[in-house]
Amino acid sequence: MKSVKHCIHIFFILIITLVYTGPLTAQEKAYPKNGEGIILFLKRFNRTGQTYQKEFIKLNKGKFGKNNSLRMGVKYTLPPLKAKRKRTATASASSESPVSTPRRRNYQSLFGKSLASYQVTSSDLKGACFYLVSGHGGPDPGAIGKMGSHELHEDEYAYDIMLRLARNLLTRGAKVHIIIQDAKDGIRDQQFLNNSKRETCMGSPIPFNQVSRLEQRCAKINTLNRKDKETYKRAIFIHVDSRSKHQRTDVFFYHKPKDQASKRLAKTMKSTFSHKYNRHQPGRGFSGTVDDRNLYVLRHTVPTSVFVELGNLQNRYDQQRFILSNNRQALANWLCEGFITDYNYYKKTKK
């Protein structure tokens, strides 16, 4: 009798074990929401970081659109969720992964709820200060391109790229002032960004008059500049050009006339982009240019500044540079690398 009870007991233990361990080992699958890219899709399921992204791409090979974009109606396999390891006070030094620089968590609500938290992962730009301005905004959408039934507004795409650049700079230890702000939008992965007139100049309404608008943002930068103690300060004005729809253009840069630091920054940016194009699109070539231009914002901004035109919003080939979130992120990454190169040169010459 005891042996029968013992067998029944073991049988129930096996059943319970199978019931509770089965779901944990099953691979999760899910459909993307409209406009989601890989980063936001994985963020929704608490899978952040490049490790998850690489594993996700490997698991779903052949299911992606151009530039690893997500396709609507396709069910994607999620990487297994990794348990977070807790370090104990008694852990030996050899058991901890080496970290060359301290990591600290920060928060910027302008990046949007899912990306507001960020970590400072390097000191590449420690001691540098940046003033970031996306073109137009508020009552002025800037250039307006057409793609099918959708309108592409310059201020929305310039703003998204500017936020991505700001986040890149912050994670590398820089101080960053986001001059043009939208409290709602955040960093977005959608192809077609909704248009609004909510943008402000750090909380102040943006004037409709062009000169007043430019004067406002320059005054804000110069006020902050007087308070900032950093010796390396750089401002960037990010725009999207509007030309004939048949004219394809590469990214081009303007610097302040007769300003060597501004000219060097613009040339460094162009060199960075040229190198990236040669690496990622060999044989294509890069035709971006550097010129001096007597623009109001370059003349009236005290910190060394550069004015960037990211492409032609009317051209169907250039439009891919803006509507794909991966391309917007690449633009931000390359601008950040240009700043790092310029900052390293600055530190070397000041020794």
Q: What percent of the chain has pLDDT over 90?
A: 62
- pLDDT given for residue 93 in this prediction: 32
Per residue in 33-44, pLDDT (tens digit) is 877 788 888 888
More confident residue, 165 or 278: 165
Confidence category of residue 162, pLDDT binned at 50, 70, 90: very high
- pLDDT given for residue 99 in this prediction: 38
Return the biggest CA–CA distance within the chain.
100
- pLDDT given for residue 277 in this prediction: 86
- pLDDT given for residue 3 in this prediction: 52
Per residue in 112-158, pLDDT (tens digit) is 999 999 999 999 999 999 999 999 999 999 999 999 999 999 999 99
Per residue in 77-105, pLDDT (tens digit) is 999 887 654 433 333 333 233 333 445 56
Query: In this structure, are residues 137 and 144 in contact, taking their beta carbons and an 8 Å threshold?
Result: no
Which range (296-300, 318-322, 328-332) has the least confidence?
318-322
**Rounded to an integer, what distance in angstroms lies between the CA atom of residue 94 and that of residue 305?**
46
**Rounded to an integer, what distance in angstroms lies between the CA atom of residue 234 and that of residue 343?**
10
Residues of the chain with CATH 3.40.630.40: 104-350
- pLDDT given for residue 94 in this prediction: 30
CATH architecture, domain 104-350: 3-Layer(aba) Sandwich (3.40)
Backbone angles phi, psi at 349, to 5 degrees: -75, -20
Q: Does the CA dihedral 263-265-268-270 come out positive or negative?
A: negative
**Token pair of 140, please?**
């002025």
Once rounded to an integer, what is the mean pLDDT over residues 10-30? 50
- pLDDT given for residue 88 in this prediction: 34
Residue type, 200: T
The answer, yes or no, to whether residue 185 has pLDDT greater than 60, is: yes
- pLDDT given for residue 83 in this prediction: 61
How far, CA to CA in Å, does 46 sit from each of 39, 41, 43, 71, 306?
10, 9, 5, 20, 38
The answer, yes or no, to whether residue 295 has pLDDT greater than 80, is: yes
The answer, yes or no, to whether residue 178 has pLDDT greater than 60, is: yes
Once rounded to an integer, what is the mean pLDDT over residues 292-305? 97
How far, CA to CA in Å, does 97 sit from each of 27, 183, 235, 245?
28, 38, 37, 52
Query: In this structure, are residues 247 and 311 in contact, taking their beta carbons and an 8 Å threshold?
Result: no
Once rounded to an integer, what is the mean pLDDT over residues 254-280? 94
Per residue in 206-239, pLDDT (tens digit) is 999 999 999 999 999 999 999 999 999 999 999 9
Which range (13-17, 49-53, 191-195, 302-306) has the least confidence?
13-17
